[in-house]
Amino acid sequence: MQRQLHTKTKISLLVALIGLISLLPAQSKRFQGQGPTPIVSTVSKPIQKQWKGDYGFMEDSVIFSNDFEGGRLNGVVQSNDSTYTVLITSENTPINISPWYAFTVESKKEREIDVVLTYQETAKHRYYPKISYDRNNWKPLDSINYTEYDKGTDDFGAGSLAVSVKLRLKVGPQKLWVAGQELQTSQDVNEWITEISKNDYVNHQTIGTSREGRPLEALTIGKAKTKRMVMVISRQHPPEVTGYLAMQPFVETIAGNSQTAKKFRKKFTTYVVPLMNPDGVDNGHWRHNNGGIDLNRDWEAFEQPETTAVREFMKERVAATDGKFYFAIDFHSTWDDIYYTLADKFKGNMPGLVPKWLEALKSELPGYDPNIRPSEKTIPTMVSRNYFYEAHGAEALVFEIGDNTDREFIKKKGEVSALKLMELMLELK
Ligand SMILES: [Zn+2]
């Protein structure tokens, strides 16, 4: 009897093990999300500014440059006739592994060169290189011209990255732009703000100033008196361009001409701070603002002017309208598309909105299964989502887009997300 049980146990263990193994590949392919956020001080600390200018190699008349906003290139040495090794370093440490780089390269004669990207200790190569001849139209470097060294074997995170990479580039008199992600600097954002503000019902205003003196701009979509409000922010983290690329169509759809958008703007006003960290973006920072701080850890202590400006703006809006924020969203980028939501136990001003919305997205985008990671904790607030919920009762989430998510899909997702959200909020109001 005992023996038989033993055998049975063995068999069931084996079955369980086989079951588990068969599940493993599917599970490991999905990004599991980041762990809990550790509590950190957000009092300013020093940052290292990069030297800006041209790195010229006169014998070969090859010139590298980082002399533009959003660029990051911290050193170039020539390793042999046709190979240049580039160093990319961060504004300070400790820091996330999101080494952002951007530089131009040109040569008097048409020629092919190899550029090896190297990073400071503990950092690795993360962003697949994009190239452009006009700074506006970007395409990924052809994979035939891309070599990775010492690549990790994980699907996501630091363990998936290469230590360094080699780019084979065709250079000539026409300036070639090379960047970790498409350049979207404060100048580009301001052009977008100007464009979208041409609509009668869209206005913009400066709500504060960054540490380095750049204006923090906010859009108002709808009437300033409306009591029902929505808050949108993006780009707390400079290299997270794909999150910004989703925010744009999302906001454009709310400001668009659909019947839903027109109805929505009668009931709700949407406020947007599209560029939370203009200093970090223009200086090519990997993560922090000019106070050397991760802004998305400062929504408790409010030591930094960028987060403080948004806090004061939202308070002022509530006081001026006697209204409420029903929904708030913060756009970011990470290893893969993911939604950091709040657990169902947190009931804000429109309970159930976020889960219903994500469910609606699933049915609207065929084959799309949203990766949702609810948080069980909102205190200390530290991150924007928790602050929006705790201070305003807004149904809040972090909308993360993968670094490499297809740009067309990002656009579609941004548009559909806004449409479905407006429909639901009109229904639930
Ligand atoms: Zn982020």
**CATH number of the domain residue 325 falls in:** 3.40.630.10
Range scoring the smallest mean pLDDT among 14-28, 228-242, 273-287, 408-422: 14-28
Closest by CA to 353, choosing from 379, 325, 378, is 325
237 CA distance to ligand 1 centroid (A)? 5
User: Is 279 within the bounds of a domain?
Assistant: yes
> Under a CB-based contact definition with an 8 Å cutoff, are residues 389 and 342 in contact?
yes
Q: Considering all CA atoms of the chain, what is the largest pairwise distance in Å, rounded to the nearest integer?
A: 87
Same domain as 215, residue 85: no
Convert the pLDDT of each residue in 266-305 to its tens digit: 999 999 999 999 999 999 999 999 999 999 999 999 999 9
Question: How far is Cα 10 from Cα 33, in angstroms, rounded to an integer?
Answer: 34
Partners of 324 in beta bridges? 228
Q: What's the pLDDT score for residue 60?
A: 75
Closest-CA residue to 199 (of 263, 133, 143, 265): 265
Using the 3D structure, point to which of 156, 179, 202 is the last residue of a domain.
179
CATH number at residue 109: 2.60.40.3120
pLDDT of residue 6: 53
pLDDT at 154: 95
Looking at 179, 210, 229, the residue that finishes a domain is: 179
The interaxial angle of helices 407-428 and 353-364, nearest 10 deg, is 130
Strand pairing report for 102-107 and 176-179 = antiparallel
**Are both 118 and 195 inside the same structural domain?**
no
Separation of 247 CA from ligand 1 center, angstroms?
A: 13
Alpha-carbon gap, residue 39 to 37, rounded angstroms: 6
228 pLDDT above the threshold of 70: yes
Whether residue 402 sits in one domain with residue 350: yes
Which of 71, 80, 22, 26 shows the shortest CA–CA distance to 51? 71
Q: How far is the CA of 235 from the centre of ligand 1 (A)?
A: 7
pLDDT at 261: 98
> Distance of alpha carbon 416 from its chain centroid, rounded?
19
Domain boundary among 164, 179, 194: 179
- Given 240, 306, 400, 415, the catalytic residue: 400
Cα dist. 154→160, 237, 239 in Å? 4, 24, 22
- Least confident stretch, 7-11, 108-112, 211-215, 321-325: 7-11
One-letter amino acid at 139 equals K
- Classify 207 as helix, strand or coil: strand
Question: Is the per-residue pLDDT at 126 higher than 70?
Answer: yes
CA distances from 73 to 59, 100, 118, 341, 403 (A): 21, 9, 10, 36, 20
Query: Per residue in 141-181, pLDDT tens?
Result: 999 999 999 999 999 999 999 999 999 999 999 999 999 99
- SS3 assignment, position 185: coil
| C-alpha dihedral, 126 to 131 to 132 to 133, nearest 10° | 140
Residues 213 and 303 in one domain: yes
292 with 380, same domain? yes
Same domain, 265 and 124: no
Give CA–CA dist 87/85, Å, rounded: 7
What is the percentage of the chain residues whose pLDDT exceeds 90? 87
Whether 23 maps to a domain, the answer reads no
Residues above pLDDT 70, as percent of the chain: 93
pLDDT band at 20 (very low <50, low <70, confident <90, very high): very low
- For residue 217, the cross-strand partners are 206
- Tell whether 7 is covered by a domain: no
Taking the centre of ligand 1 as the mean of its atom positions, its distance from the CA of residue 134, in whole angstroms, is 28
Span from the CA of 330 to the centroid of ligand 1 (angstroms):
9
Tally of domains within the chain: 2
Nearest to 170 by CA among 145, 197, 135, 194: 145
Residue 66 has pLDDT above 50, yes or no: yes
User: With 0-12 CB in 10 A as exposed, 13-18 as middle and 19+ as buried, what is 136?
Assistant: exposed
Output the pLDDT for position 12.
55
Q: Report d(CA 237, CA 307) in Å as an integer.
A: 13
| 320 & 418 share domain | yes
- How far is the centre of ligand 1, averaged over its atoms, from the C-alpha of 284 (Å)? 15
In a domain, 249, yes or no: yes
The answer to whether residues 165 and 218 belong to one domain is: no
Is residue 303 part of the annotated active site? The answer reads no
Together in a domain, 164 and 235: no
Asked whether residue 10 is assigned to any structural domain, the reply reads no
The SS3 of residue 6 is: helix
Given a cut of 90, whether residue 428 has pLDDT beyond it is yes
Check pLDDT > 50 for residue 133.
yes
Examine residue 21 and state whether it is found in any structural domain, yes or no: no
pLDDT tens across 370-422, in order? 999 999 999 999 999 999 999 999 999 999 999 999 999 999 999 999 999 99
Q: Report whether pLDDT(8) > 60.
A: no
In a domain, 27, yes or no: no
User: 71 or 60, which is more confident?
Assistant: 71
The pairing of strands 202-209 and 215-221 is: antiparallel
pLDDT at 3 over 70: no
Please say if the pLDDT value at position 338 is more than 70: yes
Q: How many whole angstroms from 141 Cα to the centroid of ligand 1?
A: 25
Confidence of residue 36 (pLDDT cuts 50, 70, 90): confident
Q: Are residues 99 and 247 in the same domain?
A: no
The answer to whether residue 36 is domain-embedded is no
Q: For 358-403, where are the E strands, in sequence order?
A: 372-375, 395-402
261 and 403, same structural domain?
A: yes
Q: Is the pLDDT of residue 199 over 80?
A: yes
CA 113 vs CA 68, 79, 105, 179, 334: distances in Å = 22, 11, 10, 16, 31
Residues 279, 404: one domain? yes
What residue numbers bound the domain in which 74 lies?
A: 54-179
- With CA atoms as reference, report the closest residue to 170 among 82, 80, 78: 82
Residue 38 CA to ligand 1 centre (angstroms):
15
Provide the mean pLDDT of the chain: 93
Distance (Å) of CA 148 to CA 127, 144, 157, 180, 334 = 12, 11, 16, 15, 20
